[in-house]
Amino acid sequence: MCIRDSFAPALMLTADALAEEKHEEQALAVLSRVSSDDPFAPLAALRRAAILDKLDRPDEAAAVLRRLADANPDLPQPAAHLGDLLRRRNRFAEAAAAYDQALARVPQPGRRDWPLFYSRAIARERAGDWPRAEADLLRALELSPDQPYVLNYLGYTWADQGRNLDRAKAMLLRATELRPQDGNIADSLGWALFRLGDTRGAVTWLEKAVELEPRSSVINDHLGDAYW
């Protein structure tokens, strides 16, 4: 028994194995053999884009994802992957626009869709649009309240801005319960306590943060402020 050479699942498995062994160009060649009308073609295109991005060819990867999004107007994934690619490349305004497109294809967002709001929030915040980033973070928490990284992002930003400090503290306490060994979250809680005037509590949490993330210049700077 032999598997036909156009069998998409086998081709994708072969491409994955080649990419894993750092034979990316060969992997791309294998993926190109998946027919455009094959039911697995969208998955093959996503893999192709990921490999192109890994090869530091982001414009080609973005073009693949844009074509895939145009060809599948009901699917949010291509636009979401495009947003991720652009965000990793610090192209935050473009990333936010891609997430806009992805979310437009989710008519009734549910619990599993919180990552899209979180990702768009990061892109918007880095692009200088904090009000809409804040709204996205709140929406992500509305959909899934116990997401430690969303709690941390919003709580830390509020603390850094000197806003909603009591609420930020409560959110960051919850985040530390969910991720007790995360130095960045411990730092956020320590910084919120510092902004609230609880220097002793701040030192306790910032010292723990430094133990967990000793190489972080930001955390060490926060601890220095608390000591001072």
Judge contact between 212 and 223, C-beta under 8 A. no
Judge contact between 206 and 187, C-beta under 8 A. yes
Q: pLDDT tens digits, residue range 5-47? A: 668 888 888 888 988 889 899 999 989 888 888 888 889 999 9
DSSP 182: -
DSSP-derived 3-state class of residue 150: helix
pLDDT beyond 60 at 4: no
**Structure-block tokens of residue 207:** 């010292």
Taking the model in full, what pTM does it have? 0.89
pLDDT beyond 70 at 2: no
Q: pLDDT tens digits, residue range 174-225? A: 999 999 999 999 999 999 999 999 999 999 999 999 999 999 999 999 999 9
Rg (alpha carbons) of the chain, rounded to whole number: 22
Residues 23 and 51: their CA atoms lie apart, in Å, by: 10
Rounded percentage of the chain residues whose pLDDT exceeds 70: 97
**Structure-block tokens of residue 33:** 């053999």
pLDDT beyond 50 at 81: yes
The residue ranges of DSSP E strands in 70-181, in sequence order, are none
- Which of 54, 14, 17 is closest to 31 using CA atoms? 14
User: What's the mean pLDDT when you consider all of the chain?
Assistant: 94
- Predicted confidence band at 132 (pLDDT cuts at 50, 70, 90)? very high
Residues 165 and 160: their CA atoms lie apart, in Å, by: 9
